[in-house]
Amino acid sequence: MKRALVTGVTGQDGAYLSQLLLGKGYEVFGMLRRSSSGDVIDERLRWLGIAGQVTMVDGNLLDLSSLLRIVQEVRPDEVYNLAAQSFVKSSWNQPLLTGQVTALGAGNMLEAVRLTAPNARFYQASSSEMYGLIQEPIQSEKTPFYPRSPYAVAKLYAHWMTINYRESFGLHASSGILFNHESPLRGIEFVTRKVTDAVARIKLGLASELKLGNIDAKRDWGHARDYVHAMWLMLQQDKPDDYVVATGRTTSVRDMCRIAFDHVGLNYEEFVKVDAAYLRPAEVDILLGDSTKARTTLGWDPATSLEDLIREMVDADLARHRKRAR
Ligand code: NDP
Ligand code: GDP
């Protein structure tokens, strides 16, 4: 039985990845940072019905000693480093913490693997945000980076450290440059989930408007369930490498709102208000990924359309709010 260690196990991707690995017969260990909300922290794992099947280990990306201990104890075959301060907007409010967790935290994890399990395969959660002020209209592994937020700067450090540890120490370390991916388990502060949650509340008479920032921003949105499959495929290759994971279709926040409101028979224009509070000091206007390499080398294919993704999210938020109302 293969053993996988997943950091960020309580997040969106950690939950879907754990589900995938358990389905493939892995023993899954999730790193849990100490929290005062221990009774609800595994909500996403519970949503997928797998909470009891993941073995939790106590640690924090900021504490190298905890990572060394965990890697020694777990003896993983595969390590997926998904933990991060992952919200771009917060990275301007907490720029140094974002650097410590998202950048140096990945360095800590690489060190723990190099020192205690150098034969383990390592996955780093890199991000399309690294392209930022895009240097090419369609971004591939060869496109130069131009980060536009403290989050993206931190991810760039982690990305290059992963490549450096591969080249310096021969680690089987791969980096997935994943474009935005969403699901009913997406954090509520991200724009898709903020929209689908608001659509559900408006439909049920619990809210009357939705305040957003730059609704002309465009993203290449896919489903998290499809994207964690690409992570796993990367670690099954003989050679470690870097891969863009994207759908190849970009859509504005405005059109994503249209899809979400249409699903419940409402017109988004009547409810969406632009509020400057949600604008960012520097914006990533548009992202569009070229995942040819992942498709040809890994045989990966995104199965879910944006319309199906958004409808699934709206339906899940409707169900959540109906349940709360009962
Ligand atoms: P989430 O924000 O849902 O999850 C982040 C996870 O990191 C949580 O489990 C959180 O724990 C954990 N974490 C935060 N700080 C620490 C710390 N100091 N020590 C240990 N764990 C910590 O992110 P996603 O699941 O959406 O994304 C997974 C990864 O992929 C992230 O690195 C993200 O930046 C990256 N990424 C995501 C994309 C997306 O569109 N979703 C696109 C490209 C990259 P807790 O529950 O305790 O807060
Ligand atoms: P990001 O790509 O990781 O920053 O993912 P987000 O979902 O947070 O944001 C995607 C895009 O939506 C960005 O260009 C935001 O500026 C834009 N956006 C517009 N209004 C909002 C909002 O109210 N909240 C968030 N999170 N993003 C918004």
Residue 19 has pLDDT above 90, yes or no: yes
Long-range contacts of 109-114 (CB under 8 A, 24+ apart): 109/7, 109/61, 109/67, 109/79, 109/81, 110/161, 110/162, 110/165, 110/171, 110/173, 111/64, 111/67, 112/64, 112/67, 112/68, 112/70, 112/71, 113/71, 113/79, 113/171, 113/173, 114/165, 114/169, 114/171
Tell me whether residue 151 is one of the annotated catalytic residues. Answer: yes
The structure tokens listed for 272 are: 């969406």
**HSE-CB of 320 using CA atoms within 13 angstroms:** 19
| Mean pLDDT of the region 109-134 | 98
All structural domains of the chain, each given as residue ranges with its CATH number in brackets, are: 3-181+221-245 (3.40.50.720), 187-219+250-284+305-325 (3.90.25.10)
Amino acid at position 103, single letter: A
| Mean pLDDT of the region 123-140 | 98
Q: Closest-lying ligand to the alpha carbon of 281?
A: 2
| Mean pLDDT of the region 17-45 | 96
Q: Is 8 in the pocket of ligand 1 (CB under 6 A)?
A: yes
Query: What distance in Å separates the CA atoms of residue 206 and residue 233, rounded to the nearest whole number?
Result: 42
Ligand 1 pocket test, pick from 5, 12, 13, 223 with the greatest ligand atom count within 8 Å of Cβ, gives 13
| Mean pLDDT of the region 17-39 | 96
Quick one: which atom of ligand 1 is closest to the CA of 33?
Answer: 20
Q: How far is CA 268 from the centre of its chain?
A: 27
Q: Closest-lying ligand to the alpha carbon of 103?
A: 1
Q: Which residue do the tokens 């395969």 mark?
A: 121
Q: How far is CA 218 from CA 176, 199, 238, 253, in A?
A: 21, 20, 35, 6
Nearest Cα to Cα of residue 83 among 163, 182, 17, 149? 17
Tell me whether residue 278 is one of the annotated catalytic residues. Answer: no
Q: How far is CA 156 from CA 5, 106, 125, 133, 144, in A?
A: 23, 11, 11, 14, 11
Query: What distance in Å separates the CA atoms of residue 98 and residue 86, rounded to the nearest whole number?
Result: 8
Residue 302 has pLDDT above 90, yes or no: yes
Q: Closest-lying ligand to the alpha carbon of 8?
A: 1
Quick one: which atom of ligand 1 is closest to the CA of 224?
Answer: 41
Tell me whether residue 136 is one of the annotated catalytic residues. Answer: no
Q: Is 278 in the pocket of ligand 2 (CB under 6 A)?
A: yes
For residues 217, 221, 224, 229, the Cα torsion angle rounded to the nearest 10 degrees is: -130
Q: Is 152 in the pocket of ligand 2 (CB under 6 A)?
A: no
Q: What is the pLDDT of residue 275?
A: 98
- Measured in angstroms, how far is the CA atom of residue 209 from the centroid of ligand 1? 29
Q: How far is CA 100 from CA 96, 171, 312, in A?
A: 6, 23, 35
Spot the catalytic one: 127, 149, 175, 291. 127
| Mean pLDDT of the region 283-290 | 98
Ligand 1 atom 26 nearest Cα: 12
Q: What is the pLDDT of residue 36?
A: 93
pLDDT-based confidence at 326, cuts 50/70/90? confident
Ligand 2 pocket test, pick from 90, 191, 252 with the greatest ligand atom count within 8 Å of Cβ, gives 191
Q: Which residue do the tokens 């959540």 mark?
A: 320
Q: Is 149 in the pocket of ligand 1 (CB under 6 A)?
A: no
Q: CB under 8 Å to 324, separation ≥6 — which residues?
A: none
Q: Is 177 in the pocket of ligand 1 (CB under 6 A)?
A: no
- Measured in angstroms, how far is the CA atom of residue 223 from the centroid of ligand 1? 16
Query: What distance in Å separates the CA atoms of residue 35 and residue 228, rounded to the nearest whole number?
Result: 25
Nearest Cα to Cα of residue 183 among 9, 14, 6? 14
Q: What is the pLDDT of residue 319?
A: 98
Q: What is the pLDDT of residue 180?
A: 98
Q: b/e map of 21-34 (b: 16 or more CB within 10 Å)?
A: bbeeebbbbbbbbe
Query: What distance in Å separates the CA atoms of residue 147 and residue 62, rounded to the nearest whole number?
Result: 23
- Measured in angstroms, how far is the CA atom of residue 283 from the centroid of ligand 2? 9
Q: pLDDT digit string (tens) for 43-63?
A: 999 999 999 999 999 999 999
- Measured in angstroms, how far is the CA atom of residue 228 from the centroid of ligand 1? 13
Q: Tell me what the pLDDT averaged over the chain comes to.
A: 98
Q: In what order do the strands lie in the sheet with 3-7?
A: 55-58, 27-32, 3-7, 78-81, 121-127, 172-178, 242-245
What percentage of the chain has pLDDT greater than the value 70? 100
Q: pLDDT digit string (tens) for 134-162?
A: 999 999 999 999 999 999 999 999 999 99
Residue 17 has pLDDT above 90, yes or no: yes
pLDDT-based confidence at 298, cuts 50/70/90? very high
Ligand 1 atom 15 nearest Cα: 84
Residue 38 has pLDDT above 90, yes or no: no
Q: pLDDT digit string (tens) for 187-213?
A: 999 999 999 999 999 999 999 999 999
Q: Is 253 in the pocket of ligand 2 (CB under 6 A)?
A: yes
| Mean pLDDT of the region 13-33 | 98
